[in-house]
Amino acid sequence: AQSVTQLGSHVSVSEGALVLLRCNYSSSVPPYLFWYVQYPNQGLQLLLKYTSAATLVKGINGFEAEFKKSETSFHLTKPSAHMSDAAEYFCAVSEWCGSEKLVFGKGTKLTVNP
Amino acid sequence: GAVVSQHPSWVICKSGTSVKIECRSLDFQATTMFWYRQFPKQSLMLMATSNEGSKATYEQGVEKDKFLINHASLTLSTLTVTSAHPEDSSFYICSAHFSSLQTQYFGPGTRLLVL
């Protein structure tokens, strides 16, 4: 079964600094990988997804993620953090090929300091 | 596109009453929708998979008689919390699976408080 590990439940960066949120999946290659963002008291918003096309995926709000099979990783990055990026970020993988179910990581809370 | 709505966004109920939460896909059809529960500062916990025209599939430990799910159309799934108690207070989030995009799109969530 797929599993997702998000290293660091809390990440704090300064405004303008690089954002790096880590996500590792279990050894078998997942069909699809996702990053979602959740603002307080809201649902999840899709940031980006990997679907076995380009390994570097660009998403909304300046975020991007790179699928690295050798490292079983799908880390989320943004070159310059903005105050509005403060939120909870969830990495998710599809359970298996053709599955509609997602397996979520525990989430990483991003704090952006002025 | 790919907008999912939930209603209500906030509800306060007395213990013992039932409450219904609606999840709608506004601009696409979804044969599969999902219901999640989220506790404070935690990740999402999948409760059940809602399948249009058939019975929902519940995750282990979720009482199907407590959390009734009806997926009556390709754009609407409802979750009814029957005889709600304070321990049912939580943030409930639905998602709809957009099959051609192989992506789940989430509703804004419903915060339930049972007194």
Contacts of B55 (CB under 8 A, 6+ apart): none
E strand or H helix at A90 = strand A87-94
Among the partner residues B99, B103, B106, nearest to A43 by beta-carbon distance = B106
The percent of residues above 70 in pLDDT, for chain B, comes to 100
- Chain B's closest residue to A44, CA to CA, is B106
Average pLDDT per consecutive 10 residues, chain A (114 residues; last block may be shorter): 90 97 84 92 93 88 94 96 97 83 94 96
CA A105 to chain centre: 9
Q: Which residue in B6, B106, B111 has the most chain A C-beta atoms within 10 A of its own C-beta, making it the best mutation to test that interface? A: B106
Bridge partners of B78, per DSSP, are B22, B70
Q: What is the mean pLDDT of chain B?
A: 93
Cα torsion B108, A48, A68, A111: sign = negative
Contact A100/B93, CB-based, under 8 Å? Answer: no
Contact A90/B43, CB-based, under 8 Å? Answer: yes
E strand or H helix at A57 = strand A56-58
- Chain A's closest residue to B6, CA to CA, is A43
For range B25-45, the mean pLDDT: 92
**Amino acid letter, A86:** A
Contact B106/A41, CB-based, under 8 Å? Answer: no
The pLDDT score that the predictor gives to residue B101 is 87
CB pairs under 8 A between A and B: 52
pLDDT band at B25 (very low <50, low <70, confident <90, very high): very high
Q: Which residue in B34, B35, B44 has the most chain A C-beta atoms within 10 A of its own C-beta, making it the best mutation to test that interface? A: B44
Bridge partners of B110, per DSSP, are B92
Residue B26 has pLDDT above 90, yes or no: yes
Contacts of A77 (CB under 8 A, 6+ apart): A18, A19, A20, A21, A63, A64, A65, A66
Give the pairing type, strands A64-68 and A56-58.
Answer: antiparallel
- pLDDT, one tens digit per residue, over B82-111 is 999 999 999 999 999 998 888 999 999 999
The pLDDT score that the predictor gives to residue A94 is 87
Which structure tokens are listed for A54?
Answer: 């380009």
* Residues of chain B positioned with their CB less than 8 A from the CB of A100: 32, 34, 49, 97, 99, 102, 104
B11 — contact with chain A (CB < 8 Å)? no
Bridge partners of B91, per DSSP, are B38, B111
Alpha-carbon gap, residue B28 to B22, rounded angstroms = 16
Query: B70-93: string of b/e by CB count within 10 Å (b at 16+)?
Result: ebeebbbbbbebeebeeebbbbbb
Contact B46, B66 (CB under 8 A): no
CA B72 to chain centre: 13
Percent helix, strand and coil across chain A, each rounded to 5?
10, 50, 45
